[in-house]
Amino acid sequence: DITQASDNNNIFISMSFNSEEPGNIAIHSIDGKLIKVLEAEISINETSQIKNYNISDIPSGMYFVKFESDNILLTRKIIIVR
């Protein structure tokens, strides 16, 4: 699950799945352009993890947050309003 903080400067990502291969969490524009890598080579186990990432440097707009590894691709839409 992905939730945004009320101040739009932070995004909280709750993850609870199992990825045998490390993956990357990144923000992409709606046309697929990489905007920001939030974390690289992250491993997720079945225990739920909540991570907080600062997104204050990203302008207003609609984006996709993606977790991508060799065997998993998860995508969620977010909207940033400044």
**Chain segment 40-71, per-residue pLDDT in tens:** 888 766 566 778 899 999 999 999 999 888 88
Residues β-bridged to residue 66: 26, 75
Separation of alpha carbons 5 and 44, rounded Å:
22
**Chain segment 32-42, per-residue pLDDT in tens:** 999 999 988 88
**Bigger pLDDT: 33 or 74?**
33
**Chain segment 20-35, per-residue pLDDT in tens:** 778 899 999 999 999 9
Separation of alpha carbons 19 and 22, rounded Å:
7
Please compute Rg for the chain using Cα positions: 12
